[in-house]
Amino acid sequence: MMNLLLALSLAVLPVQDPFEGELPLLLVERVGTVLQREPEGVSYAAGVRVHFAPGVLATRGDEAALIVRRPGVYLDFEGQTLRGAEAGTAPDQMDGVGVRVEADHVTLENLVIEGYRVGILAHQAHGLSMANIEVRDGYRQRLRSTHEREHPADWLFPHSNDRQEWRRQHGAAIAIENTVGLLVNQCRARRVQNGLLLDRVSEAVVSGNDFSYLSGWGLGLWRSSGNMVSDNRFDFCVRGYAHGRYNRGQDSAGILLFEQSSHNHFQRNSATHGGDGVFGFAGNEALGQVASGEADFDALGRGANQNTFESNDLSYAAAHGLELTFSFGNRIVFNRLVGNAITGLWLGYARDTLVEGNFVAENGEGAYGMERGGLNGEHAQGLLVRANVFADQPVGVRFWTDPDERLARLPWVERNGRGAERNRVLDNNFERSERGVELVGATATELAHNRFEDVALAVYLDDAPGRAIGGDERTGLLASALDPAGPRSGEQLAALRSERLPEPSGLRGRQWIAVGEWGPHDWERGEPWLQPLLRQGGAQFRLLGAAPAGAGEPPVAKLTGATAAALRLEPMDDPDGVALGAWRVVAAETEAGTVGSLVPFELTIDLPTGGTLVHRDQLVRTPWRVKAFPTSEDPRRNRDAFRAARDGATALPLPHLQLGFGAGGPAALLGLEGEASAALGVDHFGIEARCSIELPAGSYALDLVSDDGVAVYLDGAPLFEDWTHHAPSSERIEFQVESARVVELRIEHFELTGHAELRAELVALRGN
């Protein structure tokens, strides 16, 4: 079967009407229209044209506007648009299904779908074929992360989908379930959260599609095996990224491969600028973390196994180019993995995997701790890393063993072993790096015939006790590792890759990732977007449009509105060099004072292409006074002792309440040293923050992130409380100011142990 799939995927299939003569017409005028039997005197044997009545066909849940239950029918929508929501509907309020297919051997062509949670949903639709379908402007989550900081609520959780959590929670352009035999060709998704989701699908060909600029996953596979995915674009499927500030990705990805999805072939796809290029994981069931439906379930050999990743461009990810963990027998060959923030290849607990002929360069600039560089193999076993180029990164290949006590208790690890061992690194080129190969607690590793050019340290070996490689073996290992002879040069390998890789998208580098509240900026669409940047010291903005930023007349920006005299507009340089222009709005007065202020303004921009863009915003100044103090008793049980400790502390000024303590305590963030710092420590401390601010009448909110307990007061009256030991939690606390006046905000916060955080930002709600 795979040979047939490969043959089908090698060319982009033409979209054309295979029938002669005009087909009968079906007009869909109401929600729940079922296509099953022909009207009297009409035959659907050759196919049917489908049109939609003007207006909106709104649905909810799994309800669909059109339900197809006739097997073998060909549907030509003739470019019609099916709309599920009124213009102006917020994307996170969209719901329902556009077209639902519940029959075998159905063909859908030439359709546009807007305004649904799921554009097309097919269940047990064996032999389904789709071509020339565009799904756009559908459901997507409102993201709370900003350019200034990441928000924990934006993290995706792809680890559960046996109850269709993916599409129910996050939506999809196209969702296919429990289906054997599928063709998806020349389809497209834009301004939705996810592109194509395959749940228990096999023998599919996904070829020539474009599911890019999404805020979740371009392609997601769940328990789906034996599929061919070729010549597609899954670029800019990303969230949780602000260039130069944080690079989390939040489990977004161009390609998602979960829960024992095996024997799939991915070739010549472009999955650049994603959270990950590919995020592959054996699955929670495979690891033994959740109950299996199988009797006598055994984790031995379970994983996302025997997949091939060949000649894909997996570059410029917020995290990893390709992450594939707890899995066996995968092939990663002739891919391009360049400029990924953490690693090119993350192969934790991988087994018997081939990594050959890849170009892995410039990775690790935004790395965390030991995760960095070209290839990371924590507890990896039996990997063959051969004839690759590793260049311009902190470390080329790193294998290591660590305690990892939490994972060591998993049934998968107990059955499949732990420790980095039996790995081979042969015939590779290492260029312009700090370290070529790094081995920490790795045993029985073979290094031979590698080239090291301008590498500060070719091979690093740790001296951990109990190493399986002894002194004599180590000497021999180093000698072979430094052998300059290799069978192929970097130029030869590059020539081989160039024959296989997809055409580049034209945008190179993570600086092109710009994420707003509804997802990544679509550079191809070119619609102007004024992106908010930092809010401290003023309000910073940059204007994004088409890419690359065009030459010619720059945009002209000016402040307008009755209160503009209190503010000043300053041009600034775009930190990433991708904007048409950038500006800062600051307060005109030089003395900040002890009472804060909120000044509305309008920023009007004359666009280079004609027309204007008007942005309404507020400049908020919040001069906080903050006390930090040790707590000898549990504040949950003795609040009086908490407040007594507060009364003895000294208040310090802070222009913004953005206290990401982490595990470090408050001293460094408040500028305390010596005895004052030592007295606070990193745990068991309290914070009180007060701010007086003059507000016009209107509706407001305090966006709050806390870990641990927190209580908020407005003019001394309780406004919100979560006085518990909890992980980082986010709340939007709304309140009204009936008439213009000075209000006082007071926040109490305590930390017991572990991570700590307190962030608060005042927001004037829309309509003020």
Once rounded to an integer, what is the mean pLDDT over residues 605-625? 88
Higher pLDDT among residues 291 and 320, named by residue: 320
Q: What is the pLDDT of residue 16?
A: 40
Q: What is the pLDDT of residue 550?
A: 54
pTM (two decimals): 0.89
Higher pLDDT among residues 627 and 8, named by residue: 627
Once rounded to an integer, what is the mean pLDDT over residues 270-280? 98
Q: How confident is the model at residue 393 (pLDDT cuts 50, 70, 90)?
A: very high
Once rounded to an integer, what is the mean pLDDT over residues 270-279? 98
pLDDT in tens, 337-390: 999 999 999 999 999 999 999 999 999 998 876 678 999 999 999 999 999 999
Helix ranges (H only) for 238-378 are: 284-287
Would you say residue 479 has pLDDT above 50?
Answer: no
Would you say residue 667 has pLDDT above 90?
Answer: no
Q: What is the pLDDT of residue 499?
A: 61
Q: How confident is the model at residue 562 (pLDDT cuts 50, 70, 90)?
A: low
Run of H or E residues at 498: helix 490-498
Cross-strand bridge partners of residue 639: none
Residue 545: what are its φ and ψ, rounded to 5°?
A: -145, -130
pLDDT in tens, 210-266: 999 999 999 999 999 999 999 999 999 999 999 999 999 999 999 999 999 999 999
Once rounded to an integer, what is the mean pLDDT over residues 589-606? 80
Would you say residue 474 has pLDDT above 70?
Answer: no
Q: Do domains 526-619 and 622-764 have the same CATH topology?
A: no
DSSP annotation string for 641-703: HHHHHHHTSPPEEESSEEEEEETS-SHHHHT--HHHHHHH-SSSEEEEEEEEEEE-SEEEEEE
Q: What is the pLDDT of residue 681?
A: 83
Q: What is the pLDDT of residue 465?
A: 38
298 vs 449: CA distance, rounded Å: 39
Higher pLDDT among residues 659 and 17, named by residue: 659
Query: Domain spanning 622-764: which CATH class is it, in words?
Result: mainly beta
Higher pLDDT among residues 762 and 109, named by residue: 109
Q: What is the pLDDT of residue 467?
A: 37
Domain ranges for the chain, please list them: 526-619, 622-764
Would you say residue 472 has pLDDT above 60?
Answer: no
Q: What is the pLDDT of residue 485?
A: 43
Would you say residue 488 has pLDDT above 70?
Answer: no
Q: Is 405 helix (H, G, I), strand (E, B) or coil?
A: helix
Once rounded to an integer, what is the mean pLDDT over residues 41-53? 94
Q: How confident is the model at residue 611 (pLDDT cuts 50, 70, 90)?
A: confident
Once rounded to an integer, what is the mean pLDDT over residues 631-639? 92
The lowest-confidence range among 68-82, 185-199, 504-518 is: 504-518
Q: What is the pLDDT of residue 5?
A: 45
Tell me, which fold does domain 526-619 have in CATH?
Immunoglobulin-like (2.60.40)
Question: Does residue 77 contact residue 108 with C-beta atoms inside 8 Å?
Answer: yes
Question: Does residue 690 contact residue 657 with C-beta atoms inside 8 Å?
Answer: no
Once rounded to an integer, what is the mean pLDDT over residues 181-196? 98
Mean pLDDT in the chain? 89
Higher pLDDT among residues 664 and 234, named by residue: 234
